[in-house]
Chains A and B, each alone.
Chain A
Amino acid sequence: MEINSRKENLKAEIPHREQQIEILVDIIQSNALPPFLYVYGHTSTGKSLVVQRVIESVERVQYAAIHCIECLSPRFLYESVLEQLGSQERCDNANDFARYLKQLSDTRPICIVLDKAERMRDLSDGMIIPTLTKIPEFTGLNICIVLISEIPFEKFRCGTGSLDPIQIFFPQYSKEEILDLLMKECPQPEHSSLYQTYLSMILGVFLVACRDFCELRYIAAQHWEAFMEPIHSGEIDKTQSVKLWRHLEPKLRSSLNQVYVRGPDACGTQIGLKMELPFFSKFLIIAAYLASYNPARYDRRLFVKAKEGRKNKDKGLKSLKKQKLHNAARLMGPKVFPIDRLMAIFYSIVEERVTPSLNIFVQISTLVSLKLITHTGSAAMFQGVPKYRCNAGYDLVRSLARTVNFELGRYLYDTTV
């Protein structure tokens, strides 16, 4: 009787997860806890919430909940678990852990919940999960290890000794369920029917691209103001849903490209493009871009200013044309180049005479720390010449080139040939 009312309460609290709640409550409620439980499903399908609420609601178990991102060593894991269970011992191996668990004053069954469990796989050579799942067996205590993860359990299997868990899958919400869930967060309860219309518009556009509940919630909150605007101003009556749809649709379509993108408020990209850089840094970025996207063989052709480079033109042209079919250098991504080549191109494109002073090299390292150029290869000293890769995109480089009156197109081989 009591169990059923508990289930009903939870189901009312967390809608559309009835089946999972049912299973979980039954398992946790049972006298002998299963040693290993595996809960998985996509992001924002309510895994952590359901597990947390279910375990909290059952008084006859004690539990420790750990967020695995924070667990950087087994010791941290063991100690946090022990601390939550009321023990202050220091512990850095599984043996001690098992011993301390036995010594706990509280003898209720124990649940150990590990959220984001996929992060545990790299810890102590991947043996931490097999070890943990064996703990109930070693100690003979009534312990249940609950892993919560976004990936199927197959990815956890490694070697021998691992138990097979009871798996509980959280499926994604269907369209109706999402609609229902979003309705619960209606910003203006007096407009609930209107909000429903609005939500069905939103879902009609975005559900194709994204089923993440949190993201959809964000999108719904984002456009609500724009939707209500003509109603508030009296332009469109709230019953004319077709008109409202026509008003909202173009905005939704344009923001469809920006699902999952949350830059610093809207103007972010513009700030990036008009960033201020020292004069030579601009040329260094341009040189790095050229070095990354031009094949080294054509440097002579592109950068030798005198006529001497023209001799092999015809030959070069032919092979280039052949290559052009499958070049699209920009799509191939940046190539690695040694620093010598960067400097050679730099000196060739800068009109003035530049002293090769330390200041130039300092700028390269500044650009590396700004992540406009990345350093590749071994970081060890004396291991040959340092190698770099240009990280700046075409748009940025083009706008930089424009500020220093540099014709980028003339020196890019896929546009010159």
Chain B
Amino acid sequence: MATTSSFSKGCFVFKANPHKSGRSPRKKTKKSAIVDTHDDLNASSLFAKSDKSSMEIRLDSYKKIWSATKKKSEEIISNSHKQLLHDVKTFVSENACTGQSSIPTALISLGVNLPDHAAFFSLLDTTLKTNVSPFVAMLNSKECPSLKNMVLKTIQKITSCDSIDDELENDEEDDEDDEIVPIKPRSKVKTFANLATWYSNVVMKTPLIIILQDLESFGTQQLQDFVLLCRENRVRNKLPIQFIMGIATTVALQQQLHHRTSVCLATKSFQSRPSVVLLNHLIEQLFMKSSVLKLGPRLMQLLLDGFLYHDLSLNSFMMRVHLIIMQHYITLPVSSLCCSVSELKNRIKQLRAADLDLYRQLPSFMKFIENNRSKISLLTDDKEFRLFLQKSLEALNTYSKNFSLSCRIIHSLSDGMPDALFGKSLREVYVNLLIGGESEDWEQFIRLLNVSSAHELRTRIEAALTTLKECDSSGSLSDFSTSLVLFSEELLRLEESKKSDAVTSPKSQNVFVPQGKKLDKFELKALMATAKQVRTTSEFDEVKSEIITWLNSELASRLKSPSTLVFHEIFYAGSQVQSNWDIVPWIRRQVQPVPRVAISKALSNPASYLGCSCCSLTGQETQVLSSMPDLCIVYKLHTECGRLINLYDWMLSFNAIQKKDNEDDNEEIEPIIQARFIRAVAQLQLLGFIQSSKRKTDHVARLTWGV
């Protein structure tokens, strides 16, 4: 609060300097910005508790973890675009020399998550520039409000590519890093005719590629004109123009590409992978592999809700992850031990006695002590506690490794079962098990395994074995895999023996049925009962029950929710902790901002933002105090009115509140009061609460009802 002079609550954007390379300065400003806004909430008291050194350690590990996460996520995202990039590149180079009159056009449907497209297009831009042609003009609708700008931008971008190539012609240096290249007003090349003469002088006759990033947002008429122009020039001036158009959905395409336009284009459509698939991949790679910080069930749910229900955007997903990682390290003093196992021992050594007490306050530890009264000495003996801490944190680490492996096993075991037990994808399985409370699914799972055939069971176990082999490099679950191998061998043996049985003794099954004799109902029933008995005692069923008991004991123990473990708060962000360490409500407020609630809270209870003692309410929300800002008083008065508000009555009550204190019976309204009232009403209108009414001139209409 002290760092900014505004009393409004908000987001402060500190624009990073684009000239400085690297992300570190930007990150720092962002961090400090967040710390600033966060300062006034609840962190300051916490920072006072933890000393400087721990803060540094936490900052250090935060930086390490975030840069690793960021690098990994960027890698995953760019890898996912590889195929599409390759396809587009081949399309462009294939059509490079065809002399057809229609313009070769690649329509790339990228899904509705518009903010994510930028990453793809910048990749595409560099790929095309290095592999196909340096003449790439990337346009988005924001920089092209009219056809004139569009043509100018295109030509300028294409020619500026060239001027970088041969430095002789070029006097002024273009800032290539900057997205928006400033328009050179006196540039020689201004029209397509000029471009054609320019192109005839260019040595490399590579295609001119025009990328329209967001086809939907361009004006229809403008787009049509642009396409007609390009086509005219392709035909008349022999400019090898090609289009690449990014579209979010094909729904509006018919409207956007009018017939006159589409006859000029020879289109081919490409499609990116659905972003949900990418998200699954991202979660598998980021949180199911050996990452240090994991997400607790509540935060995971929050992130998934944000993604699936609101934006489908990986960009904002990663931003939220960033926020969580940062907040975890800032808020939790115990997060100084949230590091890789190799560093753990050293860090525990460095902890001071005061720090240890923080760890003792963790709810999971307190619960542990309550259940194990014999270990009560841990509360007093620092040395013993240090050892215990190390042991349990290491155990926690192996646990989480095994947990994600077990998730994979469960996924491959339950794959293709009806009702999609535990979830269809690996991500769903992981999240469901992380949240816990899937006992119904587990029972159903066991039940389904019970009724499955030997062959089915074997294929499932073998699938689990292959996933285990793929993922378990460290061999931490080797005993697990050996028993799985044993089971599958057993099943295979059974199956083969059964096959041979079926060949050799087809009649053996009919041994109970006397040949050629009709059975009556009771006999048949008895026969079936005996048959059933025989079946239950078959060798296969023994193996099956063995498998199931084994699964119940081994796998289920590995799949218990992390919240049952001691010190899980350190590694699982957003676990249930003391209220002042709990980051979930804070994160929720940042991720799902509710501006309306914030405004009405500020107006009905200004003390919560101003922090002054004069306007603090003593109970009811509706109380109006004369010490409050005028805007608040006007707002509170207006909430008591109906749809139409008489301005004069409103002003009288405003006057009455102002006069309440000095007991003045004078009916006259002072000009200063009137002016203050008018200003407050104007402010209220600006905030969108009221609107001037056409029906009655001296009335205003109220626009909001309730919160």
A residues near B (Cβ < 8 Å) are 67, 69-70, 72-73, 76, 80, 83-84, 214-215, 218, 260-265, 267-269, 271-272, 275-281, 355-360, 362-363, 366, 369-372, 382, 384-385, 391-393, 396
Interface string of B224-267 (1 = CB under 8 A from A): 01001100100000000000000011111111100100110101
B192 lies within 8 A of A70 (CB): yes
Instruction: Give the residue name and chain of the B residue nearest to A280 (CB).
Output: B309
- Closest Cβ of chain A to B402, distance in Å, is 33
A279 x B309 contact (CB < 8 A): yes
Residues of B within 8 A of A384 (CB): 691
B594 pairs with A271, CB closer than 8 A? no
17 pairs of residues in contact across A and B, judged by CB atoms under 8 Å:
A69-B225, A72-B148, A83-B193, A84-B193, A262-B262, A268-B253, A268-B269, A271-B271, A276-B111, A276-B312, A278-B307, A278-B312, A355-B594, A366-B114, A369-B216, A372-B252, A396-B251
- Determine the chain B residues whose CB is within 8 A of the CB of A269 once the complex forms: 250
Q: B629 — which chain A residues lie within 8 A by C-beta?
A: none
Chain B 171-194, CB-CB to A under 8 Å as 1, else 0, gives: 000000000000000000001110
Check B259–A267 contact: CB distance below 8 A.
no
B73 CB, nearest partner CB in chain A, Å: 20
Cβ-neighbour of B216 out of A276, A358, A371, A382 (below 8 A): A371
Q: State in angstroms the CA–CA spacing of A255 and B263 once bound together.
A: 16
User: Within the complex, which residue of A70, A355, A391 is in contact with B592, where a contact is CB–CB below 8 Å?
Assistant: A355
With a cutoff of 8 Å between Cβ atoms, the chain A residues found around residue B263 in the complex are: 214-215, 218, 260, 262
With A69-B229, A265-B269: A358-B595 Cβ-Cβ less than 8 Å: yes
Q: Which residue of A lies closest to B592 (CB)?
A: A357
CB-defined contacts of B703 to chain A, threshold 8 Å: 385
Quick check: B685 and A80 within 8 Å, CB to CB?
A: no
How far is B250's CA from A83's CA once the two chains are assembled, in angstroms? 42
Query: Is the pair B191, A265 in contact by a Cβ cutoff of 8 Å?
Result: no
Given A263-B254, A281-B112, A363 contacting B312 (CB threshold 8 A): no
When the two chains form their complex, are residues B309 and A272 in contact, meaning their CB atoms are under 8 A apart? no
In the bound assembly, the distance between CA atoms of A277 and B593 in angstroms comes to 21
Contact in complex: B250, A271 (CB < 8 Å): yes
What residues of chain B have their CB less than 8 Å away from a CB belonging to chain A? 107, 109, 111-112, 114, 146-148, 151, 191-193, 214, 216-217, 225, 228-229, 232, 248-256, 259, 262-263, 265, 267-269, 271, 274-276, 306-312, 592-596, 685-686, 688, 691, 703
Q: Assuming A67-B229, A371-B255, what are 18 further A-B pairs, CB within 8 angstroms?
A: A72-B148, A80-B193, A214-B263, A263-B267, A264-B269, A265-B267, A267-B269, A268-B250, A272-B249, A275-B249, A275-B250, A275-B251, A278-B307, A279-B310, A357-B592, A358-B594, A359-B310, A372-B251
Point out the residue from B112, B217, B254, B596 that lies within 8 Å of A277, measured CB to CB. Answer: B112
Contact across chains for A276 and B275 when beta carbons are under 8 A apart: yes
Nearest neighbor of A266 in chain B, beta-carbon distance: B269
Q: Is the CB of B269 within 8 A of A70?
A: no
Q: Evaluate whether A278 and B308 lie within 8 angstroms (CB atoms) in the complex, with A72-B147, A260-B259 already known.
A: yes
Q: Write the nearest CB–CB distance from A138 to chain B, whole angstroms.
A: 26
**Centre residue among B148, B214, B250 by max chain A CB count within 10 A:** B250
Q: Which residue of B lies closest to A275 (CB)?
A: B249
Say whether B112 contacts A67, CB under 8 Å.
Answer: no
In angstroms, Cα B276 to Cα A275, docked, is 12
C-alpha spacing A276/B312, complex, angstroms: 9
The 7 A-B residue pairs with the shortest CB-CB distance in the complex, in nearest-first order: A272-B250, A357-B592, A264-B269, A371-B252, A262-B262, A359-B310, A279-B309
Q: Which residue of B lies closest to A372 (CB)?
A: B251
Closest to A276 in B: B274
Q: Which residue of B lies closest to A116 (CB)?
A: B228
Which residues of chain B have C-beta atoms less than 8 A from A275's C-beta?
A: 111-112, 249-251
Q: In the bound complex, do residue B688 and residue A382 qualify as a contact, i.e. CB atoms below 8 Å apart? A: yes
How far is it, in angstroms, between the C-alpha of A76 and the C-alpha of B194 when the chains are bound? Answer: 12
Which residues of A lie under 8 Å from residue B594 when comparing CB positions? Answer: 355-358
Nearest Cβ in chain B — how far from A220, in angstroms?
A: 14
Q: A357-B594, A358-B593 are in contact. Are A278 and B309 (CB under 8 A)?
A: yes
Say yes or no: A264 contacts B112, CB within 8 Å.
no
- A331 → chain B, closest Cβ, in Å? 18
A41–B308 alpha-carbon span in the complex (Å)? 54
CB–CB A280/B310 < 8 A? yes
User: Which residue of B has the minimal Cβ distance to A52?
Assistant: B236
Identify which of A70, A80, A214, A362 contacts B311 (C-beta below 8 A). Answer: A362
Question: Please, which residues of chain A bring their CB within 8 A of the CB of B232?
Answer: 67, 69
Output the least CB separation between A113 and chain B (Å). Answer: 12
With A70-B192, A370-B249 known as contacts, the answer to whether A271 contacts B309 (CB < 8 A) is: no
Considering the complex, give the chain A residue whose CB is closest to the CB of B269.
Answer: A264
- Give the docked Cα–Cα distance between A89 and B571 (Å): 73
Q: How far is the CB of B212 from chain A (nearest CB, A)?
A: 14
Question: Which residue among A70, A261, A279, A280 has the maximum number of chain B CB atoms within 10 Å of its CB?
Answer: A70
Give chain B residues whose Cβ lies under 8 Å from the Cβ of A360: 310
Please tell me which one of the listed residues A272, A278, A356 contacts residue B253 in the complex, with CB atoms under 8 A apart: A272
Task: Report whether A70 and B251 are in contact in the complex, using a CB–CB cutoff of 8 Å.
Answer: no
Q: Report yes or no: B259 in contact with A261, Cβ–Cβ below 8 A.
A: yes
Q: How far is the CA of A70 from the CA of B275 in the complex (A)?
A: 39
Let me know if A264 and B252 touch, CB within 8 A.
no
Find out whether the CB atom of B306 lies under 8 angstroms from the CB atom of A382: no
CB contacts (< 8 Å) of A385 on chain B: these are 703
- How distant is B528 from chain A, measured CB to nearest CB, in Å? 42
Q: Are A370 and B274 in contact (CB under 8 A)?
A: no
Chain B residues near A261 (CB, 8 Å)? 254, 259, 262
With a cutoff of 8 Å between Cβ atoms, the chain B residues found around residue A263 in the complex are 250, 253-254, 262, 267
> B151 to A70, Cβ gap below 8 A?
yes
**Chain A contacts for B254, CB-based, 8 A:** 261, 263
B250 pairs with A363, CB closer than 8 A: no
* Residue contact A372 to B593, C-beta cutoff 8 Å: no
Contacts of B251 in A (CB 8 A): 272, 275, 370-372, 392-393, 396
- The reply to whether A370 and B248 contact each other, CB–CB distance below 8 Å, is yes
Decide: B592 and A359 in contact? CB cutoff 8 A.
Answer: yes
Complex Cα spacing A5 to B254, Å: 48
The answer to whether A264 touches B216, judged by C-beta atoms less than 8 angstroms apart, is no
Residues A264 and B229 in contact in the complex (CB < 8 Å), given A70-B191, A72-B148, A80-B193: no
**How far is B256's CA from A358's CA once the two chains are assembled, in angstroms?**
29
CA A280 – CA B311 in complex, angstroms?
Answer: 9
- Kindly list chain A residues whose C-beta atoms are within 8 Å of the C-beta of B107: 264
A370 lies within 8 A of B252 (CB) = yes
Contact B252 A276 (CB under 8 A): no
Shortest distance between the CB of A40 and any CB in chain B (Å): 18
User: What residues of chain B lie closer than 8 Å to A215, measured between beta carbons?
Assistant: 263
- Expressed in whole angstroms, the Cα–Cα distance for A14 and B142 within the complex equals 44
Expressed in whole angstroms, the Cα–Cα distance for A368 and B265 within the complex equals: 26
Measured CB to CB, the closest approach of chain A to B182, in angstroms, equals 21
Chain A residues within 8 Å of B248, by CB = 370
The chain A residue with its CB closest to the CB of B105 is A264
B581 vs chain A, min Cβ distance (A): 24
* Complexed CA–CA distance, A281 and B113 (Å): 12
Shortest Cβ distance from A383 into B: residue: B691
Closest A residue by C-beta to B274? A276
With CB as the reference atom, state the residue of chain A lying closest to B311. A278
B residues less than 8 Å from A392 (CB atoms): 251
- Cβ contact within 8 Å between A271 and B109: yes
Residue of B nearest to A355 (CB): B592
B195 shortest CB reach to chain A, Å = 11
Chain A residue at minimum C-beta to C-beta distance from B305? A279
Bound CA–CA A384/B689 (angstroms): 10
Q: Is the CB of A271 within 8 A of B269?
A: yes
CB of B691 within 8 A of CB of A264, answer no
**Which residues of A are found within 8 Å of B249, using beta-carbon distances?**
272, 275, 370, 372
**Could you say which residues of chain A place their CB within 8 Å of the CB of B193?**
80, 83-84
Query: Which residues of A have CB within 8 Å of B255?
Result: 371
Chain A residues whose CB sits within 8 angstroms of the CB of B593 once the complex forms: 357-358
A390: shortest Cβ distance to chain B, in Å?
Answer: 12
Contact A264 B686 (CB under 8 A): no
Task: Tell me, rounded to whole Å, the shortest Cβ–Cβ distance linking A287 to chain B.
Answer: 15
The residue in chain A whose Cβ has the minimal distance to the Cβ of B251 is: A272
Shortest beta-carbon distance, A218 to chain B, in Å? 7
The CA-CA distance from A272 to B111 in the complex, in Å, is 10
